[in-house]
Structure 1
Amino acid sequence: MAEYLIYFNQQWVGDHTEEWFRGRGPLAAAVVDEIKAAGAYVFAGGLEEDGPVFSADATNGTLMFTDGPYVETKEWLGGLTVVDVADEETARMWAGKIAEACGWPQEVRRFGHMPQPGDE
């Protein structure tokens, strides 16, 4: 099994009415329920657009916290889903279902191998 990150940038969402968004919520929730029923669910959630944003940086040897995003950018992460599936084909299937339910594109990336105690 491998874990895949399925995510979107907030700017990919586009401009829609409040009614349109309310109609998409149940569709997206149904896909998450389907992922859970399939035993592939790890995590899913949307990020608050106006919530707190801060950075932690220790690259100069001293830990510093800064309010606001680390870099000024026109795009930022809007939400994500992590699935644990047998293969890329299954990750594509879930990404497609999420894209259809949400109504905007999704990007998919596989997580790299996490070293385990005793790995050398």
Structure 2
Amino acid sequence: MAEYLIFFNQQWVGDHDEAWYQGRVEPSTAVVREMQEQGVLVYAGGLVEELEEAASADATSGTTLVTDGPFAETKEWLGGLTIVDVPDDETARYWAGRVAEGCGWPQEVRRFKSGSLREAARG
């Protein structure tokens, strides 16, 4: 099994009224329930949209600098993510499609590299 990240950038959501968003609650939670039932869900969640609540950490200068707000050069920012543990790319793409259907906006799916920090922590 391999872990895959399914995610969207907030800018991909588009402009919709509150009723549209409320209409996405049941379809998107149904997909999460389905992933739980299938035993593939590791984590799913959306992020706070208020950028003033974000912080950035940068240690590239040799000194760690933590600042308020997103990284200054960022034009897009992460809106939410799902992590699934599935046997192959085809299955990961299936779930990415299901998440896209449930949410109503595009998703990207990428496999985590082998030898991830999580694997190392598990020993």
The verdict on a shared fold, with TM-score over 0.5 as the criterion, is yes
Partner of 1:24: 24
Unmatched 5+ stretches in structure 2:
none
Deviations 1:17-37 (A, max 9, x none): 100100101111110010011
Q: Is residue 12 from structure 1 mapped to residue 17 from structure 2 by the alignment? A: no
**What SS does the aligned partner of 2:4 have?**
strand
- The residue number in structure 2 matching 1:76 is 77
Q: What CA distance in whole angstroms lies between the structure 2 residues aligned with 1:15 and 1:77?
A: 16
In structure 2, relative to structure 1, the CA distance for the partners of 1:57 and 1:74 (3 Å cut) is: closer
For residues 61 and 76 of structure 2, what CA distance do their matches in structure 1 show? 26
State the partner residue of 2:63: 62
The yes-or-no answer on 1:91 pairing with 2:101 is no
The answer to whether 1:48 aligns with 2:48 is yes
The Cα shift of 1:81 comes to: 0.3
Q: State the Cα deviation string for residues 86-107 of structure 1 (Å, max 9, x = none).
A: 1111101101111111111100
Q: Given the two structures, how large is their TM-score scaled by the length of structure 2?
A: 0.89
Cα shift at 1:60:
1.5
Aligned to 1:106: 107
Tell me which moved more, 3-12 or 50-59: 50-59
Q: Any gaps of 5 or more consecutive residues in structure 1?
A: none
CA distance in 2, matches of 1:55, 1:91: 30
Counterpart Cα distance in 2 of 1:45 and 1:38 = 18
CA drift of 1:78 comes to 0.5
Is the partner of 1:56 in helix, strand or coil? strand
Q: Could you list the per-position Cα deviations for residues 10-56 of structure 1 after superposition, in whole angstroms to 9, with x for gaps in the alignment?
A: 11111111001001011111100100110101011001101611111
Q: How many residues align?
A: 118
Identity level (%): 63
